[in-house]
Amino acid sequence: MASHFTENQYQKDRLLEFTRPEYIDELYDYTARPRRSILEVLQEFDSVKIPWQWAAAVLPELRGRQFSIAGGGQLKTDNAGHTSFELLVAIVKYKTVIKKIREGVCTRYLANLSPGSHLQVSLQKGGLGLKTINLTKPLVLIGPGTGVAPIRSIIWERLQLAESQSRAEDSEHLALEVSGVGKMLLIFGCRSEAADFFFRDEWASIRNKLPLEVQAAFSRDQVHKVYVQDVVRAQRSEIFRLLHDLEGTVFVCGSSGKMPAAVRVALTDVFQSCSAMNEEQAQGYLAQMERSGRYKQETWG
């Protein structure tokens, strides 16, 4: 489209080259690899003059940014009794192959806000569909990076349920046999334990009240990469016990890239290695879990 709005023959020819199949690699190297913005392209091809009517019709609008709420249970209300929302936001800032610094539009905005600032937000129902029955049976929680945000809300919901049941039983302890709350296995992944092990101290505190086990994968802390799907395979016996024998639920949250598919393959391997299931039967068992609400996923791009 841009080539139609320039009289500069060199720039016109260069733009037309990008439309040809034999130049697909050059197009990728120019646009996707360095993540060039539309504004940067127009600045480089400065002879292009796109009429505003075309720009309004063709150029994509900036989409609203969505974040999963990271607080549940008691965290949903502040000390004054007001509704409270907590978010886990990773600030996007990196340098591209062409040495340009890239920053996230929304995260840069949030990072520069002063305490007490007012924001306009909207709420949208999540895809996890958490039910009370999910909080009374074992859980396998898989959430690398900021994917741990909705999982944290689930853990706090379970803590609140355990405390309310404990009060009903007039007990001072949140023991498993009193609260009726099953074990939670949290599998968390990040690049470095020192840099981005979110909520580490909080998990240690919650373990004193609930049966919570945390297994972490730090992909960059050793020579070989370790991801959440590797931890799933390493914990196969316990995961099989929680999901198959005790009919627990698995929650998978995080990036919609390769992770969800890799985790599903790993779970298929778990059911195969710990039972007489073949690959087709293991996949069928996971599909049945999904249909019955015992395999839940919330991922984003």
8 Å CB contact between 87 and 149:
yes
Amino acid 234: pLDDT: 97
Q: For residue 250, give the 3-state DSSP assignment.
A: strand
On the 0-12 / 13-18 / 19+ scale of CB atoms within 10 A, 236 is middle
8 Å CB contact between 104 and 67:
no
Amino acid 181: pLDDT: 60
Amino acid 176: pLDDT: 45
Q: Which residues, in sequence order, are bridge partners of residue 297?
A: 252
Amino acid 180: pLDDT: 47
Sorted by sequence, the CB contacts under 8 Å of residue 99 that are 6+ apart come out as none
H/E stretch holding 213: strand 212-218
State in Å, rounded, how far the first CA of the chain is from the last one.
Answer: 27
- Burial string for 133-153 (b: 16+ CB within 10 Å, else e) reads ebbbbbbbbbbbbbbbbbbbb
Amino acid 64: pLDDT: 83
Cα–Cα distance measured from residue 267 to residue 188, given in angstroms and rounded to the nearest whole number: 15
Q: Architecture of domain 132-300 in CATH? A: 3-Layer(aba) Sandwich (3.40)
pLDDT tens for each residue of 78-113: 888 899 989 999 888 888 887 888 888 899 999 999
Q: Which residues, in sequence order, are bridge partners of residue 254?
A: 299
Amino acid 45: pLDDT: 94
| Residue of 295, 199, 70 whose CA lies nearest to 216 | 199
Amino acid 113: pLDDT: 93
Cα–Cα distance measured from residue 254 to residue 71, given in angstroms and rounded to the nearest whole number: 16
- Please give the average pLDDT of every successive group of 10 residues along the chain, which has 301 residues: 89 92 91 87 92 86 87 91 91 83 89 91 85 88 95 94 73 46 90 92 92 94 93 97 95 93 97 96 96 93 72
Q: How far is C-alpha 301 from the geometric centre of its chain's CA atoms?
A: 8
Q: Could you give phi then psi for residue 93, rounded to 5 degrees?
A: -160, 120
- What residue spans in the chain does CATH classification 3.40.50.80 cover? 132-300
